[in-house]
Chain A
């Protein structure tokens, strides 16, 4: 109490405090937005599950009964670039980037989909899609 009564807060103090507070609110909103906007590539193979952030370029090799399916993450999109299946439908399906989009190589039992969080509890592909 004593401190406060003796300290003269001036005009620019309030301005600075306001700017700083706005910065805090702005960062919070940005973080919330960014977090909800973060997408992941979820790759399920016969032997396990892989997760990778969509915004970081990477190559993944998912083993299946026929061999290895190569998933390429590049420029915010994910695509199957090679797979040991006969029809190569998974490669033809092209790149995916929106949540709940998916590509599958059914012969090699590899399933690739985009999720909007690192866990598989959100979004969710309807059973009919598989």
Chain B
């Protein structure tokens, strides 16, 4: 390796030796890509393209093993916070799929060496991830019938895995940021600019000519004004960590329930809570997902035949089982949405990495640079470099901004009291429902 030849080069080099930082940036891209994935139309509720795994794929060669695992875990936890699914089954799917796939990808890379490219690594990861999720689907929501869709999901994994692998290989070959991270290059280079931009946030994108960070609010913001007011009010009164703690307690109470009526009552409570929290939710998609879970369970008939729709027999136990699973699934979904607030900070070093990843994530969302299909690799590469250099400068100002004044602590104290009060109300509602369920045996 040649010695750094200029100050900026040594900066770049030392920056990349900060594994936590590289991990956070990659995790931020995972969040961002999963947000994009969320917006894409899906033929089936649980079928995904897997673009959120691209950063993990790139990290296979980049990070040491422990940091690689930290990245995978950060992806799962961060994505669950962004989408508010931390306490739901979705997080379980994501956790199992991602961690197992990460281990397999790393293993294939180690074992294969130069005989394998990122395409093979990606295919192995995607197929194991989907297989893992099928196993969980089998035992948690769909039952026996999960085997029926297993081939479909594995084929999806095979196809998307190949596509992602080809893209990752191509990106790794052409990305300047990637070659810097791999120690093959010392100079960051985006849009003809050098890495360390002294103006930081106020810099202009040469091609767009628009200032970064000043973006017109999206149209749905106007539509959902009422929701945003609710959300602001809620966030002003509720401490994120208390909300998360309350959510986990209520989740346990909820999971102990077995009756359909009591579960439906909880679901109603959670939907109301989500509404108060000003979170976005769609009853239509709730109904669609619930229906698909119920229908999947009905495919294996069991119990008294109520009636028949063509070849499908509607049977008593299959129906109650399906409705019960759908209620659990959706209940946890709403509970999680309501209880997980975006300001949630996790403790410890892992929490710090997630927090840093969210900083990067905000920068990615704010960024004005366009990604065009024709020059996708170059555009994404430039985006990565811009985001990376911008947060570094913002970081220094972060330290001074933390000096807390007395008014802030007073505010915090009143917010703490309000949080406790809201928590008590919700907890009492949840416990009352549980007791009512026990007494009436519904």
Cα–Cα distance between A17 and B166 once the two chains are bound (Å): 13
Min Cβ gap A24→B in Å is 5
B165 proximity list for chain A (CB < 8 A): 13
Do residues B119 and A9 form an inter-chain contact, with CB atoms below 8 A? yes
Min Cβ gap A5→B in Å is 10
Do residues B112 and A21 form an inter-chain contact, with CB atoms below 8 A? no
Residue ID in chain A nearest B124 by CB atoms: A16
Do residues B173 and A10 form an inter-chain contact, with CB atoms below 8 A? no
Answer whether A118 and B300 are a contact pair too, CB < 8 Å, given A12-B112, A13-B123, A24-B151: yes
Answer whether A34 and B147 are a contact pair too, CB < 8 Å, given A20-B127, A24-B155, A119-B311: yes
Do residues A48 and B304 form an inter-chain contact, with CB atoms below 8 A? yes
A101: interface (CB < 8 Å): no
Do residues A12 and B115 form an inter-chain contact, with CB atoms below 8 A? yes
Interface size on A, residues (CB 8 A): 37
B317 proximity list for chain A (CB < 8 A): 52
Do residues B120 and A6 form an inter-chain contact, with CB atoms below 8 A? no
B162 proximity list for chain A (CB < 8 A): 17
B144 proximity list for chain A (CB < 8 A): 53
Q: Which of B115-165 contact A (CB under 8 A)?
A: 115-117, 119-120, 123-124, 127, 131, 144, 147-148, 150-151, 154-155, 157-158, 161-162, 165
Residue ID in chain A nearest B377 by CB atoms: A3
Pick the residue among A9, A23, A27, A56 that contacts B117 (CB under 8 A): A9
B281 proximity list for chain A (CB < 8 A): none
Do residues B117 and A13 form an inter-chain contact, with CB atoms below 8 A? yes
Main secondary structure on B side of the interface with A: helix
Determine the interface band of chain B, counting residues with CB < 8 A from chain A: 35 or more
Do residues A16 and B300 form an inter-chain contact, with CB atoms below 8 A? no
A82: interface (CB < 8 Å): no
Min Cβ gap A19→B in Å is 8
B115 proximity list for chain A (CB < 8 A): 10-12
Residue ID in chain B nearest A15 by CB atoms: B120
B300 proximity list for chain A (CB < 8 A): 38, 53, 118
Min Cβ gap B248→A in Å is 33
Q: Which of B303-346 contact A (CB under 8 A)?
A: 303-305, 308, 311-313, 315, 317
Min Cβ gap A62→B in Å is 9
Scoring B131, B167, B169 by chain A CB atoms within 10 A of each residue's CB, the highest score goes to: B169
Do residues B154 and A27 form an inter-chain contact, with CB atoms below 8 A? yes
Cα–Cα distance between A120 and B56 once the two chains are bound (Å): 50
Do residues B154 and A16 form an inter-chain contact, with CB atoms below 8 A? no
B108: interface (CB < 8 Å): yes
Do residues B303 and A52 form an inter-chain contact, with CB atoms below 8 A? yes
Do residues B120 and A50 form an inter-chain contact, with CB atoms below 8 A? no
Min Cβ gap B110→A in Å is 12
B155 proximity list for chain A (CB < 8 A): 24
B96-122 CB mask vs A (1 if < 8 Å, else 0) is 000000000000100010111101100
Residue ID in chain A nearest B303 by CB atoms: A50
Do residues A31 and B147 form an inter-chain contact, with CB atoms below 8 A? yes
B120 proximity list for chain A (CB < 8 A): 10, 12-17
Cα–Cα distance between A119 and B173 once the two chains are bound (Å): 56
B302 proximity list for chain A (CB < 8 A): 51-53, 56, 58
Q: Which of A4-59 contact B (CB under 8 A)?
A: 4, 6-17, 20-21, 23-24, 27-28, 30-31, 34-35, 38, 40, 48-53, 56, 58
B305 proximity list for chain A (CB < 8 A): 48-51
Do residues B151 and A31 form an inter-chain contact, with CB atoms below 8 A? yes
Q: Which of B166-181 contact A (CB under 8 A)?
A: 166-167, 169-170, 173
A126: interface (CB < 8 Å): no
Residue ID in chain B nearest A50 by CB atoms: B304
Cα–Cα distance between A24 and B247 once the two chains are bound (Å): 39
Which 9 A-B pairs rank lowest in CB-CB distance, beginning with the nearest? A13-B120, A12-B116, A28-B151, A51-B301, A118-B301, A16-B120, A49-B305, A12-B115, A24-B154
